[in-house]
Amino acid sequence: MDSQTVKNDQKLIAAQKLRLRRSLMAAGAGLANSLVILIAWQLGYVFFNVELLFAYFAISSLGYLIFPWLIHTNKNLIYSDPSLTSLQIGWQLLMVLVCMYAAPGIRELLIVNFLLMLLFAVFRYHPRHLPILSLILLSSYLLVILAQLVWSP
Protein backbone atom coordinates (compact mmCIF):
# COMPACT_ATOMS: atom_id res chain seq x y z
CA MET A 1 0.00 0.00 0.00
CA ASP A 2 1.25 3.43 -0.76
CA SER A 3 1.14 6.29 1.71
CA GLN A 4 -1.76 8.04 -0.05
CA THR A 5 -3.98 4.97 0.31
CA VAL A 6 -3.10 4.71 4.00
CA LYS A 7 -3.94 8.39 4.52
CA ASN A 8 -7.27 7.96 2.73
CA ASP A 9 -8.08 4.91 4.84
CA GLN A 10 -7.23 6.79 8.03
CA LYS A 11 -9.44 9.71 6.96
CA LEU A 12 -12.29 7.31 6.20
CA ILE A 13 -11.91 5.59 9.58
CA ALA A 14 -11.88 8.95 11.39
CA ALA A 15 -14.94 10.14 9.44
CA GLN A 16 -16.81 6.91 10.21
CA LYS A 17 -15.99 7.20 13.91
CA LEU A 18 -17.35 10.75 13.95
CA ARG A 19 -20.48 9.69 12.06
CA LEU A 20 -21.03 6.81 14.48
CA ARG A 21 -20.66 9.09 17.53
CA ARG A 22 -23.16 11.57 16.10
CA SER A 23 -25.55 8.80 15.14
CA LEU A 24 -25.34 7.31 18.63
CA MET A 25 -26.03 10.75 20.13
CA ALA A 26 -29.10 11.08 17.89
CA ALA A 27 -30.23 7.56 18.84
CA GLY A 28 -29.77 8.44 22.51
CA ALA A 29 -31.92 11.53 22.06
CA GLY A 30 -34.57 9.44 20.34
CA LEU A 31 -34.57 6.84 23.08
CA ALA A 32 -34.78 9.61 25.69
CA ASN A 33 -37.82 10.89 23.80
CA SER A 34 -39.31 7.39 24.04
CA LEU A 35 -38.75 7.46 27.79
CA VAL A 36 -40.58 10.80 27.99
CA ILE A 37 -43.46 9.28 26.02
CA LEU A 38 -43.60 6.29 28.36
CA ILE A 39 -43.74 8.52 31.44
CA ALA A 40 -46.34 10.76 29.80
CA TRP A 41 -48.39 7.68 28.88
CA GLN A 42 -48.33 6.52 32.52
CA LEU A 43 -49.50 9.97 33.57
CA GLY A 44 -52.34 9.89 31.03
CA TYR A 45 -51.06 12.45 28.52
CA VAL A 46 -50.59 10.04 25.59
CA PHE A 47 -53.70 8.72 23.86
CA PHE A 48 -52.25 5.33 22.84
CA ASN A 49 -53.54 2.02 24.06
CA VAL A 50 -50.93 -0.48 25.23
CA GLU A 51 -50.66 -2.21 21.85
CA LEU A 52 -50.09 1.05 19.96
CA LEU A 53 -47.58 2.18 22.57
CA PHE A 54 -45.53 -1.01 22.20
CA ALA A 55 -45.80 -0.79 18.41
CA TYR A 56 -44.51 2.79 18.55
CA PHE A 57 -41.60 1.74 20.77
CA ALA A 58 -40.73 -1.18 18.51
CA ILE A 59 -40.83 0.86 15.31
CA SER A 60 -39.00 3.86 16.74
CA SER A 61 -36.33 1.71 18.40
CA LEU A 62 -35.73 -0.12 15.15
CA GLY A 63 -35.13 3.21 13.44
CA TYR A 64 -32.85 4.47 16.20
CA LEU A 65 -30.77 1.28 16.03
CA ILE A 66 -30.57 0.87 12.27
CA PHE A 67 -28.67 4.10 11.57
CA PRO A 68 -25.72 3.36 13.90
CA TRP A 69 -25.66 -0.20 12.54
CA LEU A 70 -25.47 1.08 8.95
CA ILE A 71 -22.53 3.30 9.88
CA HIS A 72 -20.79 0.62 11.96
CA THR A 73 -20.94 -1.86 9.09
CA ASN A 74 -19.89 0.79 6.51
CA LYS A 75 -23.12 0.26 4.57
CA ASN A 76 -23.68 4.01 4.74
CA LEU A 77 -20.83 4.60 2.28
CA ILE A 78 -22.99 3.67 -0.70
CA TYR A 79 -25.20 6.75 -0.18
CA SER A 80 -24.47 10.25 -1.44
CA ASP A 81 -24.69 11.48 2.18
CA PRO A 82 -22.73 8.87 4.16
CA SER A 83 -23.58 10.61 7.43
CA LEU A 84 -27.27 9.80 6.79
CA THR A 85 -28.13 13.12 8.44
CA SER A 86 -31.18 13.82 6.31
CA LEU A 87 -32.57 10.34 6.87
CA GLN A 88 -31.97 10.52 10.61
CA ILE A 89 -33.59 13.95 10.87
CA GLY A 90 -36.53 12.71 8.81
CA TRP A 91 -36.93 9.64 11.02
CA GLN A 92 -36.78 11.68 14.21
CA LEU A 93 -39.24 14.20 12.76
CA LEU A 94 -41.70 11.44 11.90
CA MET A 95 -41.46 9.91 15.38
CA VAL A 96 -41.86 13.29 17.09
CA LEU A 97 -44.87 14.20 14.93
CA VAL A 98 -46.60 10.93 15.85
CA CYS A 99 -45.98 11.73 19.51
CA MET A 100 -47.19 15.30 19.15
CA TYR A 101 -50.42 14.10 17.59
CA ALA A 102 -50.95 11.39 20.20
CA ALA A 103 -49.97 13.56 23.16
CA PRO A 104 -51.22 17.13 22.67
CA GLY A 105 -50.81 17.82 26.38
CA ILE A 106 -47.03 17.60 26.17
CA ARG A 107 -46.59 19.06 22.70
CA GLU A 108 -44.62 21.97 24.16
CA LEU A 109 -42.18 19.53 25.73
CA LEU A 110 -41.75 17.59 22.51
CA ILE A 111 -40.97 20.70 20.47
CA VAL A 112 -37.52 20.66 22.09
CA ASN A 113 -36.76 17.80 19.71
CA PHE A 114 -37.01 20.28 16.84
CA LEU A 115 -34.10 22.17 18.38
CA LEU A 116 -32.12 18.94 18.56
CA MET A 117 -32.83 18.30 14.88
CA LEU A 118 -31.53 21.76 14.04
CA LEU A 119 -28.46 21.13 16.17
CA PHE A 120 -27.63 17.97 14.24
CA ALA A 121 -28.35 19.78 10.97
CA VAL A 122 -25.72 22.38 11.87
CA PHE A 123 -23.13 19.57 11.82
CA ARG A 124 -23.88 18.70 8.21
CA TYR A 125 -25.76 21.37 6.30
CA HIS A 126 -24.65 24.67 4.85
CA PRO A 127 -26.12 27.65 6.74
CA ARG A 128 -28.25 28.50 3.68
CA HIS A 129 -30.14 25.22 4.14
CA LEU A 130 -31.04 25.75 7.79
CA PRO A 131 -33.93 28.17 7.08
CA ILE A 132 -35.39 25.55 4.73
CA LEU A 133 -35.22 22.93 7.47
CA SER A 134 -36.75 25.41 9.91
CA LEU A 135 -39.60 26.00 7.48
CA ILE A 136 -40.15 22.24 7.16
CA LEU A 137 -40.21 21.86 10.94
CA LEU A 138 -42.63 24.75 11.36
CA SER A 139 -44.89 23.43 8.61
CA SER A 140 -44.94 19.95 10.10
CA TYR A 141 -45.80 21.39 13.52
CA LEU A 142 -48.68 23.32 11.98
CA LEU A 143 -49.88 20.17 10.21
CA VAL A 144 -49.97 18.31 13.52
CA ILE A 145 -52.05 21.08 15.07
CA LEU A 146 -54.37 21.08 12.06
CA ALA A 147 -54.72 17.28 12.21
CA GLN A 148 -55.47 17.55 15.91
CA LEU A 149 -58.24 20.08 15.24
CA VAL A 150 -59.75 18.07 12.37
CA TRP A 151 -59.60 14.50 13.69
CA SER A 152 -59.70 14.79 17.46
CA PRO A 153 -63.02 14.50 19.24
pLDDT digits (tens, 9 = 90+) for 3-12: 778 788 899 9
Q: Mean of the pLDDT values across residues 113-119?
A: 90
Rounded to whole angstroms, how far apart are CA atoms 126 and 16? 20
Q: What is the pLDDT of residue 68?
A: 96
Q: Mean of the pLDDT values across residues 89-108?
A: 92
Q: The whole model's pTM is what?
A: 0.88
Q: Mean of the pLDDT values across residues 119-130?
A: 89
CA distances from 27 to 83, 94, 153 (A): 14, 14, 34
